[in-house]
Structure 1
Amino acid sequence: MVYVQVLGPLRVWHDHVEVDAGPRQQAYLLALLLAHAGQVVTTSELVDLIWETDVPPSAVNLIQKHVGGLRRLLEPSVPPRGTGSYVQRRGTGYLFAGDGEVADVVAFRQLVTTARSTHGGVALDAYAKACGGAALDAYAKALSLWSGPAAKGMRHSAAGIPAFAALDGEFLGAAVEAADLAVALDRPQEVLAALRLATAMDPLHEPVHAGLVTALAAVGRQAEALATFDAVQSRLAAELGIGPGPKLRAAHQRVLRQTLWRREPVSAPAALGPPLKAVSRPPADPPSAADPPSATVPSAAAAGRVGLVGRVQENAELRRAIGAAVGGGSGLVFIEGEPGAGKTRLIEEAVAGARRRGVRVVWGRCREGDGMPWVQAVGTMLTGLPVDAREKWLGGEIGSLMEAGDGVPAGTVLENDTRFRLFEGVTGLVAELSAQRPCVLVLDDLHWADVTSLELLAHLVTRPPRGTVLIGALRTVAPLPSPALTRVLAVAGRAPGHRRIRLGPLTPEDVAELVRRETGHDPTHEVARDGTRDVVRDIYARTAGNAFLVLELSRHLAETGVLTREAAARAGVPATVRDVVRDRMAGLDDNVRGLLQIAALAGRDIDLRLLAGEAGIGVQSCLDCLEPVAALGLLAPVPGNPFVVRFTQDLIREAVAGLSG
């Protein structure tokens, strides 16, 4: 009897004895067919899934050869050109046709289907009173078939990862459903092992963690439940910069308020659905364990802000870089633009997709006055290692970095004779994590980074580990890139596979979409009488397509409840924009501030000769005074006319004009 497992490492058993799955490509073909069990996968799809790039001319012949090898592996008695029972040819492709007695993935899906059909559509409380838990029995058996991520340990192609990530997602979804049911039936202990495995497989999956927190509390382990919540809350803040979502918060509150209750055990009725089919497993210890519009504006929540607006080409380029790392290579991307262009938002969108594909994502953020991102990044990386490996790294130079903690200038830690060893240590740590699974390392706001942290970055840029993509984000103004950052960019420009993405303004169409999302009003609809489309044109003209300014002005307009040109004219400058401008101008002396405010009252385009005359100074003195203003991103030259400068956005000019003092 043959039995094949893919819900964890790929393993093949014959009469309870494990056998070798064969060469790497043959084994990967089997894993792919198992992930798509019961579905035809065409030969061309298999070629893309196995090779992705550098496809050999004989790829189709190789697949046919591996299919023959799999048939002989699974059914040794099949003659050389026999078709066998499990790996079958269908049209232009192949499918795995084994049932739940042969493959764990098929058994898992059958059991989950049974569980859902048994209590589907029935409220948990009602089910708990009417049923002894046939559905939970099925869930428990299904979840016990898993021992780790699907096809654990195999080297995946970028095209192949989604299939296994989707299979992992089936496990996570079933674990969440089982947790809710187990608590309702007062049997939470039966799902604890599966929930622990699920949280290890996806440390940022909030519903799974909510299920674990709830189940732990239900078995009386309140302290462990609270510790679990604290750990995932810290991880969400460190890696994503967000707090727990509603489901996780609700689980936490139930623990704090002790609102979990225990029910009397209930006996099973005659039947609530088909009986469970026994699933045999080899006893030799395989692993277990989202009317036309009117002028009235709905709330912003009704707008349904989902996904990234615009940036299609930039997003695709960033995803290609991540795909290279997933395929075993490395990637290096720097994203630059003016403040508010949407650099961080673009990265968040891309890495969210990467995380769904099983990629590890690590963030390091620089802050003004504390430009050291490595403590945060290295700390996150260390949490992804076993305790003994973590202690090994902390015992070296990395330990001194972590002991210094966040908020300490890097120079006080790194400027000594151990600097090179520390740089090598961080590179080695990244390499170790990337060997486990592909890794995206994001260093945000590099314009605030200190010199030594940038030197460490340059060191990593020259020798990025395989399976790693490094993404850096920086402003082009406010402040201008430092000489040290410019040197890093120059080094990166010589690295193979380097990409440099500059974010410009949004298009008018993108601005219209942002307005729609923030106000709930479709500005492209024909509503000329109230001037709505003119409002969108006004917003674009006032913001010059800067994403932050568009968002803030749209939100400001939404608060008025109507979207008309008259309302827009009355709205003025949002307080958030005034605060940003005031902060940028804080370092200017009184003479420069006064000159800038005179310029703002004159209009967006300023003739320097007229401005100098109004201020009673020479043109050169006027230029000298305005030089730091250009570095702050408030003014820019007008091409072709050396005597005219322009406010980067009219909304910025309005804010400057409205500031007192």
Structure 2
Amino acid sequence: MPETAPSRPAPRLVGRGNELRQLSLWLRAFAEGASTAPVLIAVSGAPGMGKTRILQELQSQWSDEDLRWVWGPCDRLGVRAPWEPVRRLLALAAGVEAGQAEHERRERLNALGRREGLSADDLDAARVVLDLSPEDATWASLEGSERLQRLFAGLGGLALGLGDQRRTILVLDDLDEADGATMGWVEWLIAELLRQGGIGGNRVLVLATHGPELARVLPGGGRRRELVLDGLPSGEARTLLRELAGAPGSLPEGLLTRVVASAQGNPYHLGEALRLLVARGEARRAASGTLHLFVPESAVSFDENPLVWAVERVRTLERASLRVLQCLTVAGGEATDGALRSLLEEQAHWEGAVQALVDLDMAVRAELPDGPGLRLAHRLVGDAAAATLLGGERREIH
């Protein structure tokens, strides 16, 4: 069965050793079937603290174990697509890909059912979420809470069925951005895991990342485990900054000190500071990847707010690239190539505009449910792009 984590190449993880050890202890209890193993592990922290990155590292360290990892990114999708994270989980589990004909998607889902021993009700719930007609005709008459409860039960049964065959970890990245239906289903699933837990432990684990505000409302009770990612200590932040610069000593120590202080240990902000130096023309990367400063250290200044760094970098974009980034932001963080191209006045500049965003770490190419497209590289980039839009421009793009 296909499994995935986010496709961007991950840099070496600096620091977070204690956090990784704690996550591994909890995961070991789940893998060994301990009756007290968690049903939910929640990793929280501000944007840029490395929540997704630490889960990538965790999966890499556990790659030799007989565990099924299925990722369902939730970032900013709920505003326009109910069930989207669950759609991604299902598409990944069944091997459903963008552009497939309906009969092929249906057959792949049926094959998943045969392989994993799933019930007809479970498969019908999956068909509804994947926009395929269910085989049970009574679905057509279901409305409101009755339909929702049947979806909860069917999708929950499907998740539990996957776990029966192989211990399964459902990774819900940026859960605080999920739509209401997905959040309701997660709560239902965790309640069911708590109800069924016992000898042999649960065979499904929900592993979620989220911002600080969601922690107080998450379910799980005594079998919920929480890990908070704070900023890196200054020593580890300096180590990461040197690695991002490409070589020890390539940047003045005084500049490193100022960047570390401004970024407050946030790994993404450390990288954004270096990207800003390049965007301003104050630094340049050699062919070896090493970053070199081309102005006196005293000439480099940083605002106290890292969002201002990102806004400044966005404002250096060429017109076509800025337009694509703004459209991508208004679309909720991802959109197909076709949708974005339709909003670009200068069609001849499309490829160059997109490649510039990819090269500048503002967007990544992605295979979306409706075809190839783009996804924001980070939430901070979207916030910065939104800050460059006037109200009228936002309405025009909508």
TM-score class, shorter-chain normalisation, is: 0.5 to 0.7
Which residue of 131, 144, 151 corresponds with 1:403?
131
Cα distance in 1 between the residues matched to 2:7 and 2:48: 19
The answer to whether the 8 A contact 1:440-1:469 is kept is yes
Cα distance in 1 between the residues matched to 2:64 and 2:301: 41
Give the letter aligned to residue 311 of structure 2. Answer: R
Cα distance in 2 between the residues matched to 1:404 and 1:444: 25
Aligned runs of 1:349-388 on 2, under 5 Å?
A: 349-368=57-76, 369=79, 370=81, 372=83, 373-383=85-95, 385=112, 387=114
1:449 aligns with 2:214: no
Find the counterpart in structure 1 of residue 357 from structure 2. Answer: none
Aligned runs of 1:41-60 on 2, under 5 Å?
A: none
Find the counterpart in structure 2 of residue 328 from structure 1. Answer: 33
Cα distance in 2 between the residues matched to 1:580 and 1:416: 46
The answer to whether the 8 A contact 1:532-1:565 is kept is no
Q: Which moved more, 1:461-470 or 1:358-367?
A: 461-470
Cα distance in 1 between the residues matched to 2:153 and 2:297: 58
The residue matched to 1:417 in structure 2 has which SS? helix
Cα distance in 1 between the residues matched to 2:234 and 2:260: 6
* 1:420 Cα deviation after fit: 2.5
Give the letter aligned to residue 56 of structure 2. Answer: E
The residue matched to 2:292 in structure 1 has which SS? coil
Find the counterpart in structure 1 of residue 47 from structure 2. Answer: 339
Find the counterpart in structure 1 of residue 227 from structure 2. Answer: 501
Give the letter aligned to residue 207 of structure 2. Answer: I
Deviations 1:420-443 (A, max 9, x none): 232222222222222222211111
The residue matched to 1:500 in structure 2 has which SS? strand
1:474 aligns with 2:186: no
The answer to whether the 8 A contact 1:310-1:510 is kept is yes
Scaled by the length of structure 2, the TM-score of the pair is 0.58
Larger RCO (CA under 8 A, 6+ residues apart): 2
Q: Which protein is bigger by CA-based radius of gyration?
A: 1
Which residue of 277, 296, 299 corresponds with 1:566?
296
Find the counterpart in structure 2 of residue 241 from structure 1. Answer: 6
The answer to whether the 8 A contact 1:442-1:471 is kept is yes
1:513 aligns with 2:239: yes
Aligned runs of 1:48-197 on 2, under 5 Å?
A: none
Cα distance in 1 between the residues matched to 2:92 and 2:128: 16
The answer to whether the 8 A contact 1:366-1:444 is kept is yes
Cα distance in 2 between the residues matched to 1:428 and 1:512: 47
Which residue of 549, 553, 564 corresponds with 2:273?
553
Distance 1:437 1:450, change over 3 A: same
Distance 1:394 1:429, change over 3 A: closer
Distance 1:500 1:393, change over 3 A: same
Deviations 1:521-562 (A, max 9, x none): 225xxxxxx982222211111111111110121344464342
Find the counterpart in structure 1 of residue 364 from structure 2. Answer: none
The residue matched to 1:379 in structure 2 has which SS? helix
Deviations 1:322-373 (A, max 9, x none): 2111102443211111111111111111122223323110111113224631
Distance 1:576 1:348, change over 3 A: farther
Identity among equivalent positions (%) equals: 23
Scaled by the length of structure 1, the TM-score of the pair is 0.37
Cα distance in 1 between the residues matched to 2:294 and 2:130: 54
Cα distance in 1 between the residues matched to 2:143 and 2:32: 34
Distance 1:391 1:437, change over 3 A: closer
Deviations 1:42-91 (A, max 9, x none): xxxxxxxxxxxxxxxxxxxxxxxxxxxxxxxxxxxxxxxxxxxxxxxxxx
Which residue of 425, 428, 448 corresponds with 2:154?
425
* 1:391 Cα deviation after fit: 7.8
Cα distance in 1 between the residues matched to 2:245 and 2:149: 53
Which residue of 531, 536, 554 corresponds with 2:256?
536
Deviations 1:397-447 (A, max 9, x none): 232122279xxxxxxx98431322322222222222222222111111112
Find the counterpart in structure 2 of residue 318 from structure 1. Answer: 23
* 1:581 Cα deviation after fit: 9.4
Distance 1:531 1:549, change over 3 A: closer
Give the letter aligned to residue 300 of structure 2. Answer: R
* 1:454 Cα deviation after fit: 1.0
Cα distance in 2 between the residues matched to 1:334 and 1:468: 14
Give the letter aligned to residue 24 of structure 2. Answer: R
The residue matched to 1:403 in structure 2 has which SS? coil
Instruction: Provide structure 1 residue ranges, at least 5 long, that are not aligned to the other structure.
Output: 1-202, 204-234, 246-304, 406-412, 524-529, 588-650
The answer to whether the 8 A contact 1:378-1:426 is kept is no
